[in-house]
Homo-oligomer: A and B are copies of this chain.
Amino acid sequence: MKVEPGRTRVGWIGTGVMGSSMASHLLQAGFHTTVFSRTRSKAQSLMEAGADWADSPRRVAEQSDVVFAIVGFPADVREAFLGPEGILDGCSPGQIVVDMTTSEPSLAEEIAEQAEQKGVVALDAPVSGGDLGARQGTLSIMVGGDAKAFEALGPCWAAMGDTIVRQGGPGAGQHTKMVNQTLIATNMIGVCEALLYGHRAGLDLETVLRSVASGAAGSWALSHLGPRIIENDFDPGFFVEHFIKDMGIALTEANQRGLALPGLALAKQLYEALKAQGHGRSGTQALLLALASLSDLDWTQRGQ
């Protein structure tokens, strides 16, 4: 398939914070785009920018050459791709379908197999970079699946991201995203515990960051989320409840492969506690609040 703006018809399923920005880049690049979202109002801005509406994932697929989806949970992915009004139901041989949701590697393999039986190529292509990366078109896109289809979609990837790497066959994109989330999860414990220590030791935390942020202790999370924690800003970014979903997938996949990951398991339990404390829709940096609560420390009231 030769993919190019003006010629290739693109379909898009899922118009949340990430999906809306990503689809808008494809529109801006000149791709004719048909969208579906469970909540039609969330697709309004894309339609005003020129996208067509279709009433189901199946109908999107019928009107597209390439279909992208970014939805919520693995059950949503299953429904969107494999359900009765799903994408594969509307596909014809030669089409490419791409799941950009962070989802189960095993489900990515299952979709790829069912797609192949219809002569369709399915790729898994989860992303990192958050809402900001989606808006700016600077996502890291981690791709699993057929190499030729990956190459063909070059103009689409380039519209959405700037770090685009094929990691292997079906599921390899999802596995790479699990590596990404494992890194973030455990490091976030360190960022939060370090700030709690510094506070309890009587240090000025902004001054502390000047000493530790650029050296061997440095990380993206420390530099970007550390200052937000210090300012009591726990807004999302990335939702705690979505992160818990990701950690659950990573632990299940690891355990199925005979691999124990105690740090990730601890992180997931601490995030479960955070969710139980009412922070499922806070940003991941709110982990500090669960760790503070262990020691009966009220972080947001600490200066008063």
Contacts and interface: CB of A to CB of B under 8 A. Distances in A.
Interface of A: 105, 128-130, 133, 140, 142, 163, 165, 167-168, 172, 175-176, 178-187, 189-191, 193-198, 200-204, 207-208, 210-212, 214-222, 224, 250, 253-254, 257-264, 266-267, 270, 291, 294-297
A145 to B, nearest CB: 14
A128 B215 contact: yes
Tell me the number of copies of this protein. Answer: 2
A218 B215 contact: no
A186 to B, nearest CB: 3
A211 B142 contact: yes
Contacts of A201: 105, 172, 175, 178-179, 253, 257
Contacts of A193: 182, 186, 261-264
A92 to B, nearest CB: 31
Contacts of A165: 207, 210-211
Contact of A261 (B128, B196, B250): B196
A253 B193 CA distance: 13
Chain A binding surface SS class: helix
B129 A176 contact: no
Contact of A163 (B163, B184, B210, B224): B210
B180 A140 contact: no
Given A183-B222, A187-B190, A253-B201, A270 B259 contact: no
A163 B257 contact: no
Contact of A176 (B175, B189, B211, B257): B211
A254 to B, nearest CB: 6
Given A140-B211, A193-B263, 18 more contacts: A163-B211, A165-B210, A167-B208, A172-B203, A178-B201, A179-B194, A179-B198, A179-B203, A183-B191, A183-B217, A186-B193, A189-B262, A190-B264, A196-B259, A200-B257, A216-B220, A258-B295, A261-B291
